[in-house]
Each structure stands twice: as structure tokens, then as C-alpha cells.
Structure 1
Amino acid sequence: MTADGEEGGRRRSRRPPLRGLAVDITPLRVSRDFRLIWTGLLVSELGSEFTLVATFVQVQRLTGSPAAVGIIGLVGLVALVGGTLVGSTILDAYDRRKLLVLSQLGYMVASGLLLAGTLMGRPPLALIYGAVALIAAVSAIDGPTRSAMTPRLVGRELLPSALALSQVIWNGTALVGPALAGIVIARLNLSWAYGIDLVTYLAMLGAAFAIRPMPPERAEGAPTGWGAVKEGFAYLRGRRVLQSTFLIDIVAMVFGMPRALFPFLAASQFHAGAQVTGLLFSTPAVGALAGALTAGWVSRVRHQGRAVIYAVVLWGAGIAAFGLIGDHLWLALAFLAFAGAADVISAVFRSTILQLSVPDSLRGRLSGIHILVVTGGPRLGDLEAGLVAAAFSPAVSVVSGGLLCVMGTALLALLVPELRRYHAGEDA
């Protein structure tokens, strides 16, 4: 554990009592390096939302083809899988601060390509797809690197609070970023959106240079290259609790993710257009942000396996209720916000179980698999939701997906009693 982590552990007992449910900001107070990374991530993630929106808008303007826009997701998924496999060979072999620096430089190259292509006037689709692929591949290194660093920055006791603070960033930027990006693109142009993203990476790059080195904790003679990849999967194969946290997220996202149907539901169920579609997309993030900001209690939970199960069941129930509500828009939005809050609690505990139960020498590789599941699951969920909606209706797809999520979670809890019995800090 680093000095900051040790300090966090010692000062935990002297921290003033929690006031209500407010998110615990102790990790930001006691760990300089965590504070630097958190601040840099807040700025850079806000910029990333600009590029996310801009690439969709740009391809739509260039082609007018929904299929061409959809290929962005496919390209990103393929690159993410490839980046995870390649990244797993280096994540636990090199200084994580250096990997963080290289990741930010990779992001900046991608944003620079998008900016340069846009300034040309009409960039080729191949350039946009290539930049999207580069961003996805780099994220397969950047995300696991930061995740693997966190336990050493704040210590075991403060880890749930640190992960809740990270969720504040993800959901806060997902809520605010697209709206700001839309304003910039509408009032200025796409070049400004890409330029803003490029500049915001400087915040994370500066934070990466400012923190202390973090060499990996590797045993002498540990495998390298593809042997390291196989070692990571071999470790996971023997850990039923870890496996179940990955599987439960796949169940939640494949069956319970309705976002691909939001435009159709806005038209058919709520008899509205783009404005309501935007509300449907942003409302889960509202609930998730509220859940993260009121997650001060998570560090006191010991039955973390049960917490994951309950949270995913509530997610599925919220989605099913959303599909059943008919044309009552504000009640539907309330259920979406409820589902988003449940999802963020599940994410905090799943990440905590992973980071606390995996040794540092394997943490980068297992974090890579975790991020692949977290980001790949919703893409598969888009496909499942669309296919069921095409066969029946959007409402049937949403309701059946939410119910299947609840039933799948209950079945998993029954088949893996180790998850129900898991306590904080145990070997998963």
C-alpha cells in the first residue's frame, strides 16, 4: 500500500461521522494522488462526451444512414475486445503511471485526427471509424489501469467510497456532457467539439505526470505476453464469486438495457419526438448520479454479495415498471431514474468485490475483463431489445427484458450461494 493508502486507513477512524447519506469524500481529502486523478478524470470525461456526440452527428450528416451510424458501435466493440486482449499482456507488467500517460497521449492522437479531418471539410468515414477504434482500444488500457491503481491510492477501507466518487464522475458527465456538446455543435461546429475534447485530455495527462510512480507488484518468474493473459483467465476460472459478478452484469445489461428503443417509445408510447427521446436517455443518469451522491453508506455494508443481487433485482424491476406504465411520461421517467440509482449501487459493489479480492499482480488484467463486460453488455442489450421489439413491440421488449433480468438474477443467486454469502474483504 502506498503512503496515501496507509494514511487513509489511519485517518478513517478520526473522520467526522457521516452526515446523512452524502457521498463520502474522505478519499479526496486523504490521498493527494487520488485527488489528482479524480480531478483530471472529471475534466477529461466531460470532453469525451463531446466526441461521443460529435461522431454520431458527423456520420449522420455525412451519410444520412442509420446503418453507418450503427457501425460506430460495432467498430468500438471490436476494437475494445482486441484492446482488452492486447492490453492484458502489459497491464500488470509496467508502471501504471506510465500506462496512464501513454493512454492519454493515445486519446489525444484520436481526437487530433478527428479535429484535423473535420477541418478538411468532409473527412472520409474510414478516418472517423479509425479514430473511434483507437479510442476504444486505448480505453481497454486506460480504464483497467486506473481501476487497478485505486486500491493502492486509498487503501482497502476507503475503496467503496473512492469507487462511489468515480461513479459521480461517470454519471455526472453522462448527464451534462451530451447537453453541452449539443449546444456547442449547434451554435459553433463539430471542430469545436473535437477541439474541446483534445484540450481536456491535458488535465488527465497533467495528473498522470504529477502522481508518484506505481510499479506493478509482480512475482519473480511471472508469465509475460500471452502467458499473462492466460494467467488472468485461469485465475477467474477458479473464482465463482468473481465470475458471478461478471455474469450478473451481463444479465442486467443484455436483458434490461432498453436504450435502443427510446426513440421508438418516445413516438409510440409517449406520442412525442426528439425532446422526449433525450429525456429518456438522460434520466437513468440522473438517478445514477443521485445514487452516487447519496452513497455515503456503502463503506458500512459487509454483505456485499447480497447488495449486488438486490441492486440488480431492483434495476430489472424498475425497467419492467417503466415498460408497463403506458403513456404517463413523468411516472415512466421516475422508474428510469430509480433503475439508474440501483444500477450505480450494483456497479460500486461489483467493482469493490473485484478490487479487494484480486491481488495487485493480477488486478489490471481482471479489471480489463470487467470493463469489457461493462461496456460490451449494453451493446448486446441494444441488439436483444431491437430483435424482441421487431418480433413483438417496444413495450413488450422492455417489460420482458426487465422481468428476465429479475428472474436471471434470482437464478444466479440460487446457483451461486457463494455470492449470497460473500462478505467484504473475503477471497472471491
Structure 2
Amino acid sequence: MARIFADTRPLAVANFRRLWWANIVTVIGAQLTVVAVPAQIYAITGSSAYVGLTGLFGLVPLVVFGLWGGSLADVFDRRKILIVTTLGLIGTAVLFWLQAFADWNNVWFLLGLFAVQQAFFAVNQPTRTAVLPRILDDELLPAANSLNMTVMQAGAIAGPLVGASLIPVLGFSLLYLVDAVSLLATLWAVLALPSLVPERADGAKPTTPGLKSVIDGLAYLRHHPVLLASFVVDLIAMIFGMPRALFPQVAHESFGGPTDGGIAFALLFIAIPLGAVLGGVFSGWVSRVQRQGRAVVIAILIWGVSIAVAGGALFFANGSMLPVLPIVVVALMVGGAADMASAAFRQTMLQAAANDDVRGRLQGVFIVVVAGGPRIADVTHGASAAMVGTAVTFAGGGVLTVVLTVLAALAFPLFWRYRVTTRGEPVVER
């Protein structure tokens, strides 16, 4: 059974175990805020346009500070960065609580505070991920990343469900206060870490954080096609294969749901993260995979095929005897499980194959790609659906994902041949 269920060996390492358990608490609290902020903005303004501004106010600091935060993580003690940014996240959560408790009802203060919170998060996240290779052996990284992603995806399901149901009962202020208190668990885990000053490669010159450092980190990818390819295939999977912008219209037009939600919309919305959680629970196999580049390509192909199958089923949604909604949901769940595996391997490759003094910047790029790809998909899928309909857009995106992933594998043969030894050490067969 240990070979089937998630590999929990990383939890035997005290530093990782503290971070992981703290992350369970923190993710739930953070997701409560993710739900509460747009809900409070809508309660203040009654306008979806103002709610939509959370995307802009969240994405810009995530991109800017994600890249800059990665450069900080390659210069300064990562433990100190985690302490400062965790205190910053606690401070913003307290301010969220204060403004709601005082009933200020100032939407611009709320949006500005959300942007500041995202900036702290954007520095914290790449630093936190860059720490893992320093506290774990390379062979444990795939399992550790699977455990972390399982918690994140579970939080993405439980947080909104709990938050949406608690807002009418507890109000916004108490939800923000829960977020602030939950972050104390992360602060406890971070304070217990040892000093984590970046280790420099032989002959590497000290760097200073800033634009040049960010550019140097991007230039590093040019000379490491395996790492570059990991970003390329992820962008392909997300830009062409992420159909979440279509869920409201699909739920309404294909399955007769109301325009403002409903059961079909909820099932479509949670299917991908639910599949990712199940993929994480049954991820015991990931630690035994040596050809990680090949595994990423196969996982993304499964993702693309799953999206194409889900989209193809929509052609039969009206007047068909087929159980179309269950087919779509199951296909999306399979895609979510494949995406979890792809992300775990790509994250592991970034951690193991990159030098320690550039890991922070590469994790910053990873954050930007992970955040930016689905947002680009929202725009392109929405525009395409307006022209050719949801079924064609849905299925076509899956087919394009498969085709472009195959082309990327051909364009980056080293990525396809990338593997690790039984000890997790990277090997590229030329």
C-alpha cells in the first residue's frame, strides 16, 4: 500500500514536517481571505467590475514581486526573508480584519491592501520553495512537492466551500482574523529553520537583487534547455488547455444551471482540484520515476486528452441520452490528477537541476508562469467561445495542447531524455 499512497518519507525530516503541517492550517486561512475579499468588494459596490479589479491588483504585484523576490532569495538568508514576509502577511491579514471590523467600506483601501498582501506572498512563495533542496535529499523532492501540492489543492476546495458558507454567519472580520491567526503556525515553522544563505557555484560572483539579477536568472534558462522546456510545456498546458473561464457558460447553456452558479457550476469548478487531490493521495509512484522529463510530457498529454474528451462530450449535452455532466467532471478530474503529477515533476526538476544561487529566481519565474498562464487562458478561451462556442473551444484547446506538447518534446529532445538516478541526482542523456 505504501507504493500506492503518497510517499510520506519527507515528513520524517523535522524542518519539512513543521512547514507541511503549518501549511495545512495556513492554506485554509488564506483561502478564506481569497473568498472574503471579492465578496466584501461586491457587498460594498454591488458591481462585478470592481470585483474584477482584484485580478489586476493581484496579478501585477505577483509578477513584479515574484521575479524580484526570487532575486532576493538568491542573495539573502532565505530564513530571514521567510520571517519578514510571513510577518508581512500576518500584518495585512490583521489590517483586513481591522477594516472589516471598523466597517470602513472603502473599496480602494481594500484593493490596495490586497495588492500589498500579494506582494508579500510573491516574495514568500519562491523563497519557500527554493528552501526545500536545502532541507531534503534530492530523492525526496518529488514526494515533498506532491505532498505540498496536495495540501494546496485541498485548500482550494475546502477554503471556498467553508468561507462561502461562513460569511453570512460570522461576517468578513472574523474570517480575516482566522487567516491572521493561522499564519502564526507558519511563523512558528519558519523560526525553527536553520540559516539558509544561498550556496554559490564554484567561481560564481556574488549577485545583488534587482533588474540585472532577474535578467541574469532568465538568461540562465537559455543555457539550460531542460529547465526552459519545463516552462514551455507548462505554458502550453495552461494557455491552451485551462478551460475554467468557460465553466459559467457551460453550466448554464449545456446543463441548464442558473446564470449565477448552481450544482453544475460547482461540480465543474471543483473537478480539476479534486482530481489533483486524489492524484496526490495516490502519488506513491512519483518517487520511483527516474525519467522525469518523459513523465512530464506524458502527464501533459493526458491533461490535453482529458480536456479534449470533456469538450467533445459537450457536443452531446443537449438532448443526448449520455450522462454528459458526469463524463465531463470525470474527464476534468483525470486532467487534474495528471496536472498534479506534471507540476510535481517540473518543480522537482527546477529544484534539483538548478544551482542553489539561482533557484530563487527560477522559482520566481515559476510563480509568474503558474499565475500568468491560466489568466491568459481566461482571456483567450473567453474570446474564442464568443466566436465558435464553448464545445469547440473546450475540445480544441485540448487538441492544441496535445499537438503543441508533442512539438515541444521534439524541439527539446534533452527534456524528453532527462532523468534522475536512484538518489535523485539529475542526468541528461545526450
Same fold? TM cut 0.5: yes
Q: How far, CA to CA, are the matches of 2:205 and 2:291 in structure 1?
A: 36
Which residue pairs with 1:163 in the alignment?
145
Structure 2: which amino acid aligns with 1:306? Answer: R
CA deviations on 1:273-332 (whole Å, 9 max, x unpaired) are 323212211111111001011111111111111100010111111111111213321121
Shift of residue 142 of structure 1? 1.0
Shift of residue 127 of structure 1? 1.4
Matched position secondary structure for 1:325: helix
Q: How far, CA to CA, are the matches of 1:57 and 1:99 in structure 2?
A: 31
Q: How far, CA to CA, are the matches of 2:411 and 2:200 in structure 1?
A: 34
Give the stretch that moved more between structures: 397-406 or 285-294.
Answer: 397-406
Asked if 1:201 corresponds to 2:201, the answer is no
Asked if 1:294 corresponds to 2:282, the answer is yes
Structure 2: which amino acid aligns with 1:211? Answer: L
Asked if 1:46 corresponds to 2:34, the answer is no
Indicate how the Cα distance of structure 1 residues 353 and 334 shifts in structure 2: closer, same or farther if over 3 A, else same.
Answer: same
1:27-426 alignment runs, 5 A limit? 27-29=10-12, 31-218=13-200, 221-226=205-210, 227-273=212-258, 274=261, 275-326=263-314, 327=317, 328-424=324-420, 425-426=425-426
Which residue pairs with 1:6 in the alignment?
none
Which residue pairs with 1:14 in the alignment?
none
Matched position secondary structure for 2:72: coil
Q: How far, CA to CA, are the matches of 1:56 and 1:393 in structure 2?
A: 28
- Name the TM-score, length of structure 1 as normaliser: 0.92
Matched position secondary structure for 2:426: coil
Indicate how the Cα distance of structure 1 residues 294 and 97 shifts in structure 2: closer, same or farther if over 3 A, else same.
Answer: same
Which residue pairs with 2:320 in the alignment?
none
Q: How far, CA to CA, are the matches of 1:180 and 1:405 in structure 2?
A: 34
Q: How far, CA to CA, are the matches of 2:280 and 2:189 in structure 1?
A: 23
- Name the TM-score, length of structure 2 as normaliser: 0.92
Structure 1: which amino acid aligns with 2:283? Answer: A
Shift of residue 169 of structure 1? 0.8
Shift of residue 413 of structure 1? 0.9
Give the stretch that moved more between structures: 417-426 or 31-40.
Answer: 417-426
Shift of residue 205 of structure 1? 0.7
Q: How far, CA to CA, are the matches of 2:118 and 2:302 in structure 1?
A: 30
Aligned partners of 2:42 and 2:48 also within 8 Å: yes
Shift of residue 243 of structure 1? 0.7
Matched position secondary structure for 1:217: coil
Asked if 1:25 corresponds to 2:12, the answer is no
Aligned partners of 2:69 and 2:360 also within 8 Å: no
CA deviations on 1:63-87 (whole Å, 9 max, x unpaired) are 2322221211122111111102322
Structure 1: which amino acid aligns with 2:387? Answer: A
CA deviations on 1:35-71 (whole Å, 9 max, x unpaired) are 0111111111111100101112112222232222121
Q: Percent identity, please.
A: 39
The alignment of Structure 1 onto Structure 2 pairs a total of residues equal to 410
What 5-or-longer segments of structure 1 have no aligned partner?
Answer: 1-17
Structure 1: which amino acid aligns with 2:349? Answer: I
Matched position secondary structure for 1:272: coil
CA deviations on 1:232-251 (whole Å, 9 max, x unpaired) are 11211211111111011111
Q: How far, CA to CA, are the matches of 1:184 and 1:145 in structure 2?
A: 32
Q: How far, CA to CA, are the matches of 2:168 and 2:240 in structure 1?
A: 35
What 5-or-longer segments of structure 2 have no aligned partner?
Answer: 318-323
Give the stretch that moved more between structures: 153-162 or 54-63.
Answer: 54-63
Matched position secondary structure for 1:88: helix
Matched position secondary structure for 2:81: helix
CA deviations on 1:205-253 (whole Å, 9 max, x unpaired) are 1111122222221367412133322321121121111111101111111
Structure 2: which amino acid aligns with 1:23? Answer: A
Structure 2: which amino acid aligns with 1:322? Answer: A
Structure 2: which amino acid aligns with 1:414? Answer: L
Aligned partners of 1:304 and 1:349 also within 8 Å: yes
Structure 2: which amino acid aligns with 1:246? Answer: F
Shift of residue 427 of structure 1? 5.8
Q: How far, CA to CA, are the matches of 1:260 and 1:346 in structure 2?
A: 22
CA deviations on 1:362-382 (whole Å, 9 max, x unpaired) are 111111111111111111111
Q: How far, CA to CA, are the matches of 2:361 and 2:241 in structure 1?
A: 27
Which residue pairs with 2:321 in the alignment?
none
Aligned partners of 2:68 and 2:364 also within 8 Å: no
Q: How far, CA to CA, are the matches of 2:35 and 2:266 in structure 1?
A: 12
Q: Aligned Cα RMSD in Å?
A: 1.5
